[in-house]
């Protein structure tokens, strides 16, 4: 099973699973990494620990993540504008 990193913070890493299998968020200590994890990198599951597949970043996923975040922000602004009316 594989997935792409969609968020990295001080405590956890969030991974969007390929094949529309869902979303996975776990503590950083559970991930096996050779380099610092970044948004867009791919992880694979070997037994029970997610393992970084390489340092390359999948630009397609990063672009889709940014597009979705912009869309969410636009919707949030529209909802705030409607509440003021």
pTM, entire model: 0.58
- The arithmetic mean of pLDDT across residues 52-81, rounded, is 90
pLDDT exceeds cutoff 90 at 9: yes
- The arithmetic mean of pLDDT across residues 23-30, rounded, is 91
Give pLDDT, residue 85.
Answer: 64
Give pLDDT, residue 47.
Answer: 62
Three-state helix/strand/coil letters over 16-69: EECCCCEEEEEEHHHCECCCCCCCCEEEEEECCEEEEEEEEECHHHHHHHHHHH
pLDDT in tens, 30-62: 888 888 999 999 988 766 677 788 889 889 989
């Amino acid at each position: 099973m594989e997935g792409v990193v969609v968020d990295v913070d001080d405590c956890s890493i969030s991974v969007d699973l390929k094949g529309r299998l869902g979303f996975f968020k776990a503590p950083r200590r559970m991930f096996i990494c050779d380099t610092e994890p970044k948004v867009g990198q791919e992880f694979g599951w070997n037994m029970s620990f997610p393992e970084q597949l390489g340092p390359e970043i999948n630009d397609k996923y990063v672009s889709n993540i940014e597009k979705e975040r912009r869309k969410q922000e636009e919707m949030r602004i529209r909802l705030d504008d409607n509440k003021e009316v």
